[in-house]
C-alpha cells in the first residue's frame, strides 16, 4: 500500500515528546503500524504477531529491549507479561521512549494503568478523515485505508467479510467474547438494523437465545475492538424525563453497509431505508474524531426527552457543549425541536450537518451546512504541518531490532 502521511502525524509526534510511553489505540487495519513507521522512523520495531519477535520478547524481554533506546511494540496486548518489564526498562534511562500499538483497548488500558501509571499518554486512531480523502467515498466505502489507498485497490464486497471473519474468529475470542463467532456476527447484523437507536439489550438477546447480561458483555468486547460505539445520553439537571439508555452504532459505515447488504454504489445506498442512519454515523464519527484530535478531553453525547425533543449529538469541546443534528439532503430541515433542546441545555451554538458544500445561518446561533464547513466553523480542521517540518513520506524505513 502506498505510504501516505496522515493529518495527525504532528499531534502524535508531539505526544511522544511529552511522555516516555505513547499508546496508540485503534481498530485493526486502521493504519496504526503505518502511522508509527511514519512518525518514528528511528525507532526499533517489534511486531508481537511475528512469532520471532514474540518469542524473543517472551524469552528475555529486558535484554531484547535494552539493545535500543527507542522502541515501537505492535499488537502489544498479545504479551501482557511485558508491561512490568517496560516500567523497569523506561525507569532505567530517562532518554528511553516506547510507542505501544494495540487494537484491543480494555485489557491494554488496564495493563498500562497497572504498570505505566504516570508514564503514558494515549492517542485514539480514527479512520480516514474528510481532510485526507473524498467525503463521499469515505461515507460510501468506509474509513479503512485499504479501501482507498491500496494497490491493487481492495474490493469492499470481499474485504469487509474477510475483515469481520478475522476479527471475530481470531482477535475477539482472546478478549473473552461470550458468543461464538457466528453469533457475534448475527449480533453485529442486529446492531446494523438498529443503527442509531437506543440500546435494548433484551431485544438483542432474544434472537440469539441469550440473556441481556451476555449481550452487554459481548458489547463490551466489540466496543473494545472499536467496532461498536455506545453514545451515552447527556444527563442535564432538568425537570424533564430524559432517555437514559445509550444509542448504539457500528462505527464504520463500510462495515455497516456490508452487514446491511446495501451494495457499494451511491444509487443503491441512497435507496436503502437505513441511509439516514448511515449518514448520521459517518458525520458522528468524523466530528468526534476531529474534536478529540483538537481536544483530547472532548466528550460526545446525545440528548432526548421522553416527549421527543432531541439532538443527535452534543459535542463538548474546550468545555463548551455544542448541539448537532445530521440531516441527509441539501436543504435545511425544521429546527423547532432543536430550538427547544438548545433552550433546555443553554447551548449557544447548533449545527445541522447536511450534504451541501456551504454553511448558511438559520437563526442566531444556528447554522446548516456540509460536514467540512461545520468542522471548520467548530475550529476542528487539523493544523497544517509547521514550515520546515520533515516530510513523513520521505522518512526512512524503521529500524528492525537485531536478530530479526
**Residues 92, 144 within the same domain:** no
Tell me whether residue 360 is in a domain: yes
pLDDT tens digit string along 134-154? 999 999 999 999 999 988 889
Residue indicated by cell numbers 471473519: 165
Tell me whether residue 382 is in a domain: no
What DSSP assignment string belongs to 151-196?
A: SSPPPHHHHHHHHHHHIIIIIGGGGT-SS-HHHHHHHHHHHHHTTT
The domain spanning residue 19 has which CATH number?
3.40.50.300
182, 174, 203, 195: which is closest to 102 by C-alpha? 174
Per-residue model confidence (pLDDT) at position 77: 83
Average pLDDT over residues 381-390: 58
**Residues 241, 276 within the same domain:** yes
Per-residue model confidence (pLDDT) at position 6: 87
Per-residue model confidence (pLDDT) at position 311: 96
Residue 385, pLDDT > 60, answer no
What DSSP assignment string belongs to 230-296?
A: EE-B---S-SS-B--SPEEEES-HHHHHHHHT--SSHHHHHTSTTHHHHHHHHHHHHHHHHHHHH-T
pLDDT tens digit string along 302-346? 999 888 899 999 999 999 999 999 999 999 999 999 999 999 999
Residue 329, phi-psi category: left (phi > 0), alpha (psi -120 to 50), beta (remainder)? left
**Residues 244, 329 within the same domain:** yes
**Residues 89, 229 within the same domain:** no
The domain spanning residue 291 has which CATH number?
1.10.10.10
Final residue before a domain boundary, out of 64, 95, 125: 125
Q: pLDDT higher for 349 or 400?
A: 349
Final residue before a domain boundary, out of 78, 105, 125: 125
Collapsing DSSP states into helix, strand and coil, what is residue 344? helix
**Residues 190, 327 within the same domain:** yes
Final residue before a domain boundary, out of 125, 147, 178: 125
| pTM of the predicted model as reported, rounded to 2 decimal places | 0.90
pLDDT tens digit string along 32-71? 999 999 999 999 999 998 999 999 999 999 999 999 999 9
Residues paired with 353 in a beta bridge: 326, 369
pLDDT tens digit string along 260-300? 999 999 999 999 999 999 999 999 999 999 999 999 999 99
Q: Mark out the alpha helices in 266-399 (DSSP H runs).
A: 266-270, 275-294, 336-345, 371-377
Tell me whether residue 383 is in a domain: no
Q: How far does CA 146 lie from the centroid of its chain?
A: 16
297, 298, 326, 299: which is closest to 311 by C-alpha? 326
The DSSP code for 210 is -
Collapsing DSSP states into helix, strand and coil, what is residue 124? strand
**Residues 161, 78 within the same domain:** no
Find the helix or strand (DSSP H, E) in which 39 lies. Answer: helix 32-39
Cβ–Cβ contacts within 10 Å for residue 50, how many?
15
Average pLDDT over residues 385-401: 39
**Residues 78, 190 within the same domain:** no
Rounded-to-integer distance, Cα 276 and Cα 312, Å: 12
**Residues 234, 370 within the same domain:** yes
Rounded-to-integer distance, Cα 223 and Cα 230, Å: 8
Average pLDDT over residues 78-86: 88
Per-residue model confidence (pLDDT) at position 99: 96
Rounded-to-integer distance, Cα 394 and Cα 283, Å: 32
Tell me whether residue 219 is in a domain: yes
**Residues 152, 96 within the same domain:** no
**Residues 63, 158 within the same domain:** no
The count of domains in the chain is 2
Tell me whether residue 144 is in a domain: yes
Tell me whether residue 390 is in a domain: no
Range of the domain at 99: 9-125
**Residues 208, 105 within the same domain:** no
Find the helix or strand (DSSP H, E) in which 333 lies. Answer: none
Rounded-to-integer distance, Cα 279 and Cα 292, Å: 20
Tell me whether residue 282 is in a domain: yes
pLDDT tens digit string along 148-189? 998 888 999 999 999 999 999 988 887 888 999 999 999 999
Report percent pLDDT > 70 for the chain.
Answer: 93
Tell me whether residue 386 is in a domain: no
**Residues 75, 157 within the same domain:** no
Amino acid at each position: 500500500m502506498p505510504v501516505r502521511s496522515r493529518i495527525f502525524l504532528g499531534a502524535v509526534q508531539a505526544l511522544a515528546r511529552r511522555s516516555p510511553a505513547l499508546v496508540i489505540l485503534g481498530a485493526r487495519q486502521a493504519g496504526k503500524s503505518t502511522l508509527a513507521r511514519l512518525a518514528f522512523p528511528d525507532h526499533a520495531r517489534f511486531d508481537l504477531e511475528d512469532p520471532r519477535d514474540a518469542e524473543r520478547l517472551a524469552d528475555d524481554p529486558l535484554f531484547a529491549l535494552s539493545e535500543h533506546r527507542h522502541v515501537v511494540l505492535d499488537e502489544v496486548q498479545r504479551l501482557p507479561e511485558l508491561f512490568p518489564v517496560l516500567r523497569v526498562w523506561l525507569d532505567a534511562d530517562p532518554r528511553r521512549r516506547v510507542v505501544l500499538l494495540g487494537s484491543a483497548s480494555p485489557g491494554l488500558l488496564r495493563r498500562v494503568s497497572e504498570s505505566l501509571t504516570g508514564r503514558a499518554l494515549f492517542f485514539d486512531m480514527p479512520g480516514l478523515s474528510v481532510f485526507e480523502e473524498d467525503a463521499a467515498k469515505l461515507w460510501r466505502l468506509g474509513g479503512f485505508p485499504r479501501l482507498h489507498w491500496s494497490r491493487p485497490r481492495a474490493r469492499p464486497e470481499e474485504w469487509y467479510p474477510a475483515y469481520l471473519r478475522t476479527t471475530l474468529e481470531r482477535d475477539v475470542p482472546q478478549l473473552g467474547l461470550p458468543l461464538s463467532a457466528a453469533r457475534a456476527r448475527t449480533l453485529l447484523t442486529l446492531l446494523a438494523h438498529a443503527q442509531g437507536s437506543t440500546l435494548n439489550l433484551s431485544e438483542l438477546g432474544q434472537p440469539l437465545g441469550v440473556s441481556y447480561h451476555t449481550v452487554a458483555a459481548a458489547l463490551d468486547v466489540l466496543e473494545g475492538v472499536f467496532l461498536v460505539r455506545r453514545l451515552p445520553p447527556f444527563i442535564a439537571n432538568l425537570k424533564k424525563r430524559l432517555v437514559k439508555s445509550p444509542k448504539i452504532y457500528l462505527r464504520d459505515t463500510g462495515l455497516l453497509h456490508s452487514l446491511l447488504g446495501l451494495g457499494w454504489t451511491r444509487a443503491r445506498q441512497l435507496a436503502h431505508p437505513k441511509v439516514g442512519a448511515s449518514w448520521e454515523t459517518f458525520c458522528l464519527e468524523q466530528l468526534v474524531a476531529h474534536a478529540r484530535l483538537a481536544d483530547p478531553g472532548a466528550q460526545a453525547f446525545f440528548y432526548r426527552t421522553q416527549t421527543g425533543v432531541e439532538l443527535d449529538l452534543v459535542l463538548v469541546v474546550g468545555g463548551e457543549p455544542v448541539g448537532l443534528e445530521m440531516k441527509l439532503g441539501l436543504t435545511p430541515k425544521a429546527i423547532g425541536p432543536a430550538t427547544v433542546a438548545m433552550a433546555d441545555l443553554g447551548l449557544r451554538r447548533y449545527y445541522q450537518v447536511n450534504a451541501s458544500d456551504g454553511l448558511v445561518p438559520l437563526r442566531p446561533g444556528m447554522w446548516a451546512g456540509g460536514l467540512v464547513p461545520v468542522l471548520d466553523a467548530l475550529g476542528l480542521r487539523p493544523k497544517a504541518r509547521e514550515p520546515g517540518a520533515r516530510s513523513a513520506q520521505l522518512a526512512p524505513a524503521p529500524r528492525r531490532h537485531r536478530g530479526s
